């Protein structure tokens, strides 16, 4: 049975599928209604959701919690990014940042994997800044206003860079290496590293 990714976000699923494919790990979506724990830490939110999801489904699975953290706004919207996006979109965040010089921001992704042994967490960030205006059509959420460090383009303008450096790419990369190694030790050849 393939590994399950508990999410209702089609964009997240597509990104995760493509990233994990590179490690030979195949996934299927699992849509479960889970009430998210309130915490300012993506890792804690993901951990709590993974526990609940495993209790319900009893199959190896992972969940992801992510968000964008703005320095000038003391980390807002952070773990409330989905909620904030629903209320005001990226346009609202740009408005809050109007005239603000410190534009530093980071995306964070926490993967929580659960099986009969418990929960394992993998967290990673992608640093960058908030653009002055939206640009690009790719991706989802705050992609049109986030420029990763070392680039001049937003994630929505440059999907190839997003695929290489994103928070999700990094967290899933750490998870995939651990997951493949764990299964290989048990004699189950799950994945193959890209050469």
The only residue of 49, 81, 131, 154 in contact with ligand IMP, by rule CB under 6 A: 81
Within 120-139, the residues that bind ligand IMP by CB under 6 A are 139
Its sign, for the CA torsion 81, 82, 85, 87, is negative
Question: Residues 65, 102, 143, 158: which is the catalytic one?
Answer: 65
- 188 SS3 class: coil
Does 158 engage in binding with ligand IMP (CB under 6 A)? no
Does 13 engage in binding with ligand IMP (CB under 6 A)? no
Strand partners, 5: 29, 62
Preceding omega of 19 cis (within 30 degrees of 0): no
Respond yes or no: is residue 65 known to be catalytic.
yes
Residue-wise burial string across 20-46, b where 16 or more C-beta atoms lie within 10 A, e elsewhere: bebbebebebbeeebebbeeebbbbbb
Does 76 engage in binding with ligand IMP (CB under 6 A)? no
- The conformation of residue 173, written as its DSSP 8-state character, comes to H
Of 143 and 190, CB closest to ligand IMP: 143
The only residue of 67, 78, 128, 148 in contact with ligand IMP, by rule CB under 6 A: 67
Residue nearest ligand IMP, Cβ-based:
141
Residues lying near ligand IMP in the complex (CB under 6 A): 9, 65-68, 81-82, 85, 107, 139-143, 155, 166, 168
**Catalytically annotated residues:** 65
């Amino acid at each position: 049975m393939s590994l399950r990714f508990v999410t209702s976000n089609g964009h997240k699923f597509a990104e995760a599928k493509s990233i994990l494919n590179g490690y030979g790990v195949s996934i299927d979506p699992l849509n479960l209604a889970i009430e998210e724990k309130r915490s300012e830490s993506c890792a804690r939110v993901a951990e709590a959701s993974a526990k609940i999801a495993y209790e319900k489904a009893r199959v190896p699975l992972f969940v992801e919690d992510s968000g964008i953290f703005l320095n000038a706004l003391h980390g807002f919207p952070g773990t409330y990014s989905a909620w904030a996006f629903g209320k005001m979109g990226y346009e609202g965040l740009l408005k809050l940042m109007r005239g603000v010089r410190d534009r530093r921001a980071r995306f964070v992704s926490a993967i929580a994997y659960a099986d009969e042994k418990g929960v394992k967490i993998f967290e990673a960030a992608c640093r960058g800044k908030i653009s002055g205006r939206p640009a690009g059509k790719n991706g989802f959420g705050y992609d049109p206003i986030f420029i990763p460090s070392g680039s001049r383009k937003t994630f929505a303008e440059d999907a190839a860079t997003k695929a290489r450096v994103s928070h999700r790419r990094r967290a899933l990369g750490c998870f995939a290496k651990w997951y493949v190694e764990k299964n290989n030790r048990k004699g189950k050849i799950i994945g193959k590293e890209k050469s």
